[in-house]
Amino acid sequence: MNLGELARIARAMVVKNKGILAADESTSTIKKRFDSIKLDSTEEHRRSYREMLFSAPGAADYISGVILFDETLRQKAKDGTAFPDLLTRKGIIPGIKVDTGAKPLAGFKGETITEGLDGLRERLVEYYKLGARFAKWRAVIDIGDGIPSSFAIAANAHALARYAALCQENDIVPIVEPEVLMDGGHSIDRCEEVTSAVLQTVFDQLAAHRIYLEGMVLKPNMIIAGKKAANRAGPEQVAEATVRVLKRHVPPAVPGIAFLSGGQSSAEATLHLSLMNKNPLPWALTFSYGRALQDDALKAWAGQAANFSAGQKEMAKRAKLNSLATTGSYSSSMESQAA
């Protein structure tokens, strides 16, 4: 385990003005995204969509790292360059999703446990050889009637910490992602209560598993009301509650926090990040968005080769606006301006 290297990579992932592109949709998730543009999810369509995103002109100025799915880590650009090499040459760090998904937690109706620990050490050794320098594991916590249970929170936090330890053993920076979903009708206060409990348990487990905090990145949800809530909190309230919770539970030894977008609109996710970055903070606060970086690009591309550069423009535009949000310099009026 090379502590200096882990800390260097973690800092580079959250470096000023940059954030992470989450392009690690599993085969079943990318199929849902392609369904929305009526495109078959073939291996070649998945490959060319990812090539469009990764080679978007200008994007490297705003993107520090890209999270890949196993299939993508092994694919090549049209000119034969392996995707991890294409990214590395642009100064973008390749990362890899290593969990195998959230499965029903036996005995706990409506709750899940994320799987993927068996054989993980061996997979990490291979991923490192293929060029990955960081990894991601996503735990999923749903809010509903009587859930989450403290048992499900503890089980998921334990798995996250075991994953993080294996990553660091293999010189791979773990992105630790405990996602409290924004599905459902819960209030922002309920999201705050649950997220606080989750983050506290996660950092207790990370300490118990002897995780080197300087060599990891946290990927949390923002504190936000459920999508079906009658009372949607305003952007200032979201930013304020999120910063409050993070300050209470995330040690300043962690170099950076990179949010998921979780179903927020692209503009909402950018605005919330920018508002938070108007405060002095003990860690870098940036983005690790999937949908909030890709939605516009996916629509503009629509699976047509002729729209390749139109899709790239949309991707670069969102990356640039989110980059501005990392210094608190984004404003909603920029949405209508050209990329």
Decide: is 318 part of the binding site for ligand 13P (CB under 6 A): no
Instruction: Give the contacts of 40 (CB within 8 A, at least 6 positions apart).
Output: 34
Q: Which stretch binds ligand 13P (CB under 6 A): 54-62, 230-238, 290-298, 310-318?
A: 290-298
Under the criterion CB under 6 A, does residue 50 sit at the interface with ligand 13P? no
Q: Which residue is closest to ligand 13P by CB?
A: 290
Question: Can you tell me the distance from the alpha carbon of 157 to that of 16, in angstroms, rounded to the nearest whole number?
Answer: 29
The answer to whether 177 is a known catalytic residue is yes
Q: Which of 177, 192, 268, 314 is catalytic?
A: 177
With beta carbons less than 8 A apart as the criterion, state whether 5 and 171 touch.
Answer: yes
Binding status of residue 290 toward ligand 13P by CB under 6 A: yes
Q: In the complex with ligand 13P, which residue's Cβ is closer, 65 or 290?
A: 290
Least separation in angstroms between CB 210 and ligand 13P: 25
Contact indicator for 135, 166 with CB cutoff of 8 Å: no
Q: Does 156 bind ligand 13P (CB under 6 A)?
A: no
Q: Is 115 a catalytic residue?
A: no
Strand partners, 178: 139
Minimum gap (Å) between residue 4 Cβ and ligand 13P: 27
Q: Which CB atom, from 26 or from 252, has the smaller least distance to ligand 13P?
A: 26
Rounded distance between C-alpha atoms, residue 250 and residue 246, angstroms: 5
- How many residues in the shown chain lie near ligand 13P by CB under 6 A? 10
Task: Give whichever of 161 and 273 is closer to ligand 13P, judged by the CB atom.
Answer: 273
**Which range in 123-131, 240-248, 284-292, 320-328 contacts ligand 13P by CB under 6 A?**
284-292
Please give the backbone phi and psi of residue 208, each rounded to the nearest 5 degrees, phi first: -60, -30
Q: Shortest approach of ligand 13P to residue 41 CB, angstroms?
A: 17
Report CA 292 to chain centroid distance, whole Å: 10
- Which of 34, 49, 83, 289 is in the footprint of ligand 13P by CB under 6 A? 289
Is 291 a binding residue for ligand 13P by CB under 6 A? The answer is yes
138 near ligand 13P, rule: CB under 6 A: yes
Distance (Å, rounded) from C-alpha 138 to C-alpha 14? 18
Q: Is 131 near ligand 13P (CB under 6 A)?
A: no
Which residues, numbered 181-240, are part of the site for ligand 13P (CB under 6 A)? none
> Distance (Å, rounded) from C-alpha 141 to C-alpha 103?
12
Q: Which residue among 59, 223, 260, 271 contacts ligand 13P (CB under 6 A)?
A: 260
Q: Is 262 in the site for ligand 13P (CB under 6 A)?
A: yes
Tell me the sheet residues that pair with 217. 175, 256
Site residues (CB under 6 A) for ligand 13P? Answer: 22, 138, 177, 260-262, 289-292
Where in the sequence numbering do the catalytic residues fall? 177, 219
